[in-house]
Structure 1
């Protein structure tokens, strides 16, 4: 059984490398084309950024593969020999926490390079070492407190029920829903500064837009995202009473009122089309499949790893091998997501106007330096949003006729 999982991981590794090389070759060739969507300078810069990201991804994937071999070869059994705790739930907490922390430390150089070298080189990252350390400490505290509680909870379920994977799925699914509800509150209290919009005219327009489609929220907020990154974004965060509209300060600065309303109109399209509920449903189905698989693994798999078939080992095996299943389910999930994005574009353009939505997407692409072209295989596996070229075509615009303007 272990051999099957190892073969699956090798296929996952090989395909990741292959798609990255295909994407690099495609972008290098597309870089020589006449610029579309982006202005000429940013078109070339976006291509270079895309290539450098993929090169980093290739190195990171090789590194992850080496770590995988080391973990299943002797790392897990060695860690097991160190964590000699009789209590099944306490051993699960300590073992899994150490596994995650060691992995984080070993992969930290890639995060540091991406944040302080690559993203600063292309004008994205505003992160300072002090802020990075502060964020890391806060994230670590959240993980050690709440992550450990979740590990303890799932280990109790594993140890208490013969068909534990059914109740484990219910428990983890409920935790994920709770996290989605609390996410904007946690961000507000621990990481970001949420403020009511200072532009009262814009706030009134947004409130009118929300009322028009029947979207109830706890308010419209601007967040100081620029202290970490210059990219533009907006999102609807939370569920139920915690639901709120969050605008990056960079987005408010760069987009006109009508363009910003068009972006929100797109997001409201997801709300009106029931995409949020659909996504939760899809996530639930995928998780159920995962739990059904990992809840019925034979003892031979754990013997091959020199581990006991106990909660600590089951949770760790889940963490190691679940990315493989996720990867091979990704094309289907991405295809559904791209379909939903087209429908949201249509809703947003009708709610505001096609011109405003197109102008907003143009600004987003230029400010975020998003290269507009990708290899079809790369799109098939990794793109949750359709390429901008295709989105503009669906909106009835020829990309060659579009002109980017810096004016707000």
Structure 2
């Protein structure tokens, strides 16, 4: 038909979008609902099964407990006091026996107990010093022991001073310990009697090894060279060791070790000397006193001054309890006013130098605890403080060059240290 225009019918876009919205909304709704369902399902499973599994935490062991060895208590007593059964304590002792001398334990030394989380003892650590440490550890029902390796170093130091009062007080004033006094006096025990011969103003000097772990002092090592100057005479001891052993010698190579000690007691005071005219404190009158009296506390150990044989032991009138020893070269020694006798001391028994033969007392005609000491030579009493006894073995001819080198080196170090008056440190 003319004039008639055919119109192309186009889609109604607006109407199409309106119809798509509900579809998209339903999709998002379904997607959200599905996610929520998954979340709730996971939450339910978590609550039901108790959450993700975790490795259980191992309980920590408690800190170690330290105790000290008490006076009069044994090592087993100390273990049992900590709750260790006697049979277990016996196994610990057996394990430690090859590393620890139970006869030398001292009160105050520490035991450290380690436990497992259940409270059972698993390790015992025993400390005698910062470097003397042994430990026993449980391996099932058995116990094994070992000695802990503690690194140490040795430093050579100068110790020198002037005698004021006595040797103990003088060295203590320098900050040194009693052990060094004993070691120093031991060097000259055959040559000098500190109880009777030392005087205020005497001078002492030595080079001694000191053992350290880190910066902590542990103990004294060996005295390498020592000198004691008294009344214008200098006594010198130089340590030297060869294939025959070690000992102290004079600069000439003579052994300081004699067949007789200068004194039968350690660090005591002479109260009466050898004399032909002393007023007797009990009987009165002037009488010979052919002995040296040493004042000492009751029960102080008395040494044999030399190897020998017991000739007499028992009561001897005014001398009280007495021991007489017979020695070589026709010498005898006599010890009076004793409180008791040493173990095994009987007529005919052999004794060694420094063996305890008796104890100081006040038996017989005595005014107080002391030792009356006498020396008999060829059947006659002689002055113990002035008698010259048999010398020891000198440095051998074969060892003389080595000794000379050692002597010159040590005396040179001592002189240099005295000049600088400062310690010599040498780490080895």
Give the TM-score normalised by the residue count of structure 2. 0.25
Q: Identify, as 1 or 2, the structure richer in strand.
A: 2
Larger Rg: 2
TM-score (norm 1): 0.25
> Using CA pairs below 8 Å that are at least 6 residues apart, which structure has the higher relative contact order?
1
